[in-house]
Structure 1
């Protein structure tokens, strides 16, 4: 009544291929995302000339990257101080959200401190 299938199905599962594809856990993905936000914050912090704050951020980025220190250079955007503080505040906020979702107390405290510092700097300008 039915004819047997004689060819390989085009709808076959990829279970055999799944073992060859590298997968990351949620924690690893959050580590990568948090390190990225902090690295962006570090770039703006370095541009503002805040060396001590930049060193603290660099330590957190290195910790998240397994000890690999971030590359630091003075790639200047030629933006004014208010724009840089505003951008740094937003980046610190993003880092705070990710740090809170991964329960990283050290990074969350650092991000909150940087948010406070940039808010204070914006009100002083």
Structure 2
């Protein structure tokens, strides 16, 4: 009927492979640093230097090197940028919480509050 498979599966979990594997913590660090770097880009575009420096410090801590700073502008309005920053900070908060990174979680929550307040202020006018 069917002939048995005579070779090893390429989909197996060969633990002896000679390529590096990352731990869950390392993967979460990479993901958190990416979210914070994206938040940094939007924060730089909004011109909030104080918040940008705090975010850059967290990115540097996670990556082991200072982040590359955003230089281009998207020509997006302040409301769009605040909404984008709020969403990115929310994703960073979820990853920071799952990683149990208190400093990054507090920073992300503070940024969510700041962008939420900016959005409320903009909608009131």
Q: Same fold (TM over 0.5)?
A: yes
Cα separation, partners in 2 of 1:106 and 1:20, compared to 1, 3 Å? same
Cα separation, partners in 2 of 1:14 and 1:57, compared to 1, 3 Å? closer
How far is the alpha carbon of 1:41 from its aligned partner?
Answer: 0.2
Superposition RMSD in Å: 1.5
Stretches of 4+ aligned residues off by more than 4 angstroms: none
How far is the alpha carbon of 1:14 from its aligned partner?
Answer: 7.0
Correspondence 1:108 to 2:105: yes
Which TM-score applies when normalising by structure 2? 0.87
Which TM-score applies when normalising by structure 1? 0.87
**Structure with greater Cα Rg:** 1
Correspondence 1:51 to 2:43: no
Cα separation, partners in 2 of 1:10 and 1:83, compared to 1, 3 Å? same
5+ residue gaps, structure 1: 1-8
Cα separation, partners in 2 of 1:100 and 1:21, compared to 1, 3 Å? same
Cα separation, partners in 2 of 1:78 and 1:22, compared to 1, 3 Å? same
**Corresponding pairs, count:** 115
Residue 3 (structure 2) aligns with: none
